[in-house]
Structure 1
Amino acid sequence: MMKSSRITAVGIVAAAVLWIASGYLVPHEGAQGEAAVRPGEAKQQPLFRVSVVPAKIEQHAPKLTLSGRTEADRKVAITARTGGTLTELRIKRGQHVQKDEIVAVLSDDARKAQLAQAEALVEQRRAELDAKRTLIQSGALPKLDMVNLESQFKAAEASLSAARAELERSVVRAPWAGVITDVPAEVGGAAFSMAGKEIATLVALDPMLAVVEVSERKLAGVKVGEPAAVKLITGVTATGRVRYVAKSASATTRTYRVEVEMDNAQGTIPDGITAEVAVSLQPEPATQVPRSALTIASSGDIGVRIVDAEQKVQFVPVKIVEDMQDTMWLSGIADGARVIVRGQDFVREGQKVNASAVSAEAAAK
């Protein structure tokens, strides 16, 4: 009985050993599948997908936008050119006047009497010249008297011209058409002479200037005659042309004065208001890409990533020609290069990618 139990136990142990060994000696289905896949034939990972747009090189004229102010083309202080008190003031602040319109009148101060005296003297000298001319021509009087008489007559005419000019100076007129911006003088406000005293300030509003200061780095691109767009702080817009570019820099700011002339026949543009001026610079070859396409290389250079003919990523440094609201104009990119506009921040140089083309409109969204 004991012997049969031992035989049974030995048989069970032997069966168990054989069953365990069968897993190593006879390959099962899973092991066969693993053995069938060799290391060099492992399944490849899918390439990273990026979106690209072809670069199109165009001649682009960037706009230089600067903040400045409007400035009247001409501004003058109207002053009295002769003595006398102010008796009439025919203008007021804000009034539009035409050329040669009377602004003010000064007291007479015997100017009319001086004019009448000068006129009488001229008549006297003329009569004397006419009366003695015949006697001189006949030889009754020496010819030297003719020279003296003509000299006296011309001196009388000069005195008459001076008297008329003095009387005319008592009437103050506008030198050109414009707007009166200030009237510091008052009628009867001063008993002293008005000679050299300011009566009013006259500003010519047409044309109007937009004045900006341009740095020396941007000065080369600004040319006289180039168009410019002006936007006032009030929202009013106008167009004009560059009239003047300074040849000497400001000693304090090292910037150059640039004047843009605008038509202001209606007087809608005031003097001294803040204005934003956009001046077109010289065109240069560039391509337009979305702002998001711009990236920074590990070296710190600013540029874009492109996909070459071998579907590998390359970095191209660029120069910013113009920075706009949604897009940027860049130079340094070859015509037709495929610029990565989506996924450029998730790939590196030399990496092979799966590039799909998208439209420029879709890339900008």
Structure 2
Amino acid sequence: MIASRIASVAIVIGAVAWVASGQEVITRILGEPTAAVAAAPEPAPAVSAEENLFSVAVQRVSVEDHARAITLSGFTRADRRADAVTRAQGVVVELPVRRGDRVENGDVIAVLSDEARESNVLQARARLEQREAEYEAKSRLIENGTLPVLDRVELEANLKAAEAALAQAQAERDRGVVRAPIAGIVDAVPAELGQALQVGDPIAEIIALDPMLVVVEVAERQLGGVAVGDPATVRLVTGQTAEGAVRFVSNRASEGTRTYRVEIGIDNDDGAIADGVTAEATLRLAAVPSARIPRSALTFSSEGALGVRLVDEEDRVGFAPVTLVEDGRETIWVAGLSDGARIIVQGQDFVVEGQRVAPVPFAVAARR
């Protein structure tokens, strides 16, 4: 029993000695562990927050007085138009004008039948001659004392009444001749030769084409920038262009559209521009301090306000609300920015207010 215990202990001691001798042999074969193996790998240095800023493209803006331009649709309209109408009744015996004829103020448009108007003139003239003869004869008698002085008053009254009757008869005769009320183009002739007309019936419609008016409607929010005398450029649907100026700005809004009538006068000496042609008028409004920025720079704040994001002196993002002054295809003019402000033109939708960023000039960013 004792012998078996002694044998077990000897076996364990021998196994331990054998394992220890094997480790020593391995160490002699492989040698000491190298520093690269023995040493634990050092952690990579942490990247600083300064080196991990989001890059945005910025552009400095310049604020200047900009004359806004608006383009409005409208139509041409003759500056003046008037109807030549009869002032007496009668039959049309002469009608020397046709549509398209150019007439001057006072030209004869039509002649009506006499209707005894000339005979009334002759009668009134004869009565006047009688009164004049009576006045001369009785005046001599008054001077001789044959007639009282008070008879001179009656003689003068009779003479003036005869003169008034002749003037009235001549005016009635002249009403039988219809004349052009204005200079212009005869646009319509509704009367015909031989037609019997009453007082006030139209004979011809005349329109004055020089100057020509361009009538447009302006919205109430733009009304404050339009004034009489402002220059305007007009383009007609026919391809014609002309320069003009605002002649009239209405102070009363249209009931249906709440817009205001604006009339622009343009020269039309040769009558090449017709009445009623569709036109576009570009008006230059009052100058407003504004900055020109790329259209893509516009964005919305977290509250939904329209504006641009910008970078301050500490490279932190801010927001500036703007108002649109003039719209363009690629660039726009806005008001509300300070001169020299750095606005974000690329990357503005990926940053928030208060965030620190790495601003890059837009020209440099575009070359990358």
How high is the TM-score relative to the length of structure 2? 0.84
**Structure 2 CA distance for partners of 1:28 and 1:150, relative to 1, 3 Å:** same
Distance 1:75 1:41 in 2: 83
Match of 2:36 in 1: 28
Equivalent positions of 1:242-321 (< 5 A) are 242-321=246-325
Deviates more, 1:200-209 or 1:222-231: 222-231
Contact kept, 8 Å, 1:311 with 1:352, in 2: the verdict is yes
Whether 1:143 aligns to 2:149 is yes
**Structure 2 CA distance for partners of 1:91 and 1:41, relative to 1, 3 Å:** closer
Equivalent positions of 1:286-365 (< 5 A) are 286-349=290-353, 350-358=355-363
How far did 1:181 drift?
A: 1.1
How far did 1:285 drift?
A: 0.8
Distance 2:96 2:39 in 1: 114
Name structure 1 gaps, 5 residues minimum.
none
Match of 1:230 in 2: 234
Contact kept, 8 Å, 1:60 with 1:286, in 2: the verdict is yes
How far did 1:58 drift?
A: 0.4
Matching residue's letter, 1:255: T
Distance 1:166 1:30 in 2: 134
Distance 1:333 1:144 in 2: 92
Contact kept, 8 Å, 1:313 with 1:353, in 2: the verdict is no
Whether 1:88 aligns to 2:94 is yes
Distance 2:87 2:63 in 1: 64
Equivalent positions of 1:89-168 (< 5 A) are 89-168=95-174
How far did 1:48 drift?
A: 4.3
Contact kept, 8 Å, 2:190 with 2:204, in 1: the verdict is yes
Match of 2:44 in 1: 37
Deviates more, 1:102-111 or 1:238-247: 238-247
Equivalences, count: 347
**Structure 2 CA distance for partners of 1:235 and 1:41, relative to 1, 3 Å:** closer
Contact kept, 8 Å, 1:47 with 1:354, in 2: the verdict is no
Match of 1:216 in 2: 220
Contact kept, 8 Å, 1:49 with 1:356, in 2: the verdict is no
Distance 1:228 1:31 in 2: 84
Distance 1:170 1:214 in 2: 46
Contact kept, 8 Å, 1:181 with 1:203, in 2: the verdict is yes
Equivalent residue of 1:316, what SS? strand
How far did 1:203 drift?
A: 0.8
Distance 1:205 1:74 in 2: 8
Distance 2:150 2:259 in 1: 68
Equivalent residue of 2:286, what SS? coil
Map Cα deviations across residues 109-138 of structure 1 (whole Å, 9 max, x no partner).
222222222222211111111111110121
Equivalent residue of 1:90, what SS? coil
Distance 1:56 1:143 in 2: 94
How high is the TM-score relative to the length of structure 1? 0.85
Equivalent residue of 1:85, what SS? strand
RMSD across aligned positions (CA): 3.1
Contact kept, 8 Å, 1:71 with 1:272, in 2: the verdict is yes
Contact kept, 8 Å, 2:112 with 2:176, in 1: the verdict is yes
Match of 1:78 in 2: 84
Question: Highest Rg: 1 or 2?
Answer: 2
**Structure 2 CA distance for partners of 1:31 and 1:101, relative to 1, 3 Å:** farther
Contact kept, 8 Å, 1:86 with 1:194, in 2: the verdict is no
Contact kept, 8 Å, 2:86 with 2:197, in 1: the verdict is no
Match of 1:52 in 2: 58
Distance 1:206 1:255 in 2: 27
**Structure 2 CA distance for partners of 1:43 and 1:264, relative to 1, 3 Å:** closer
Equivalent residue of 1:35, what SS? coil
Contact kept, 8 Å, 1:54 with 1:336, in 2: the verdict is yes
Map Cα deviations across residues 91-118 of structure 1 (whole Å, 9 max, x no partner).
1112211111111111122222222222
Name structure 2 gaps, 5 residues minimum.
1-10
Equivalent residue of 2:197, what SS? coil
Equivalent residue of 1:208, what SS? strand
Distance 1:229 1:170 in 2: 46
Q: Percent identity?
A: 47
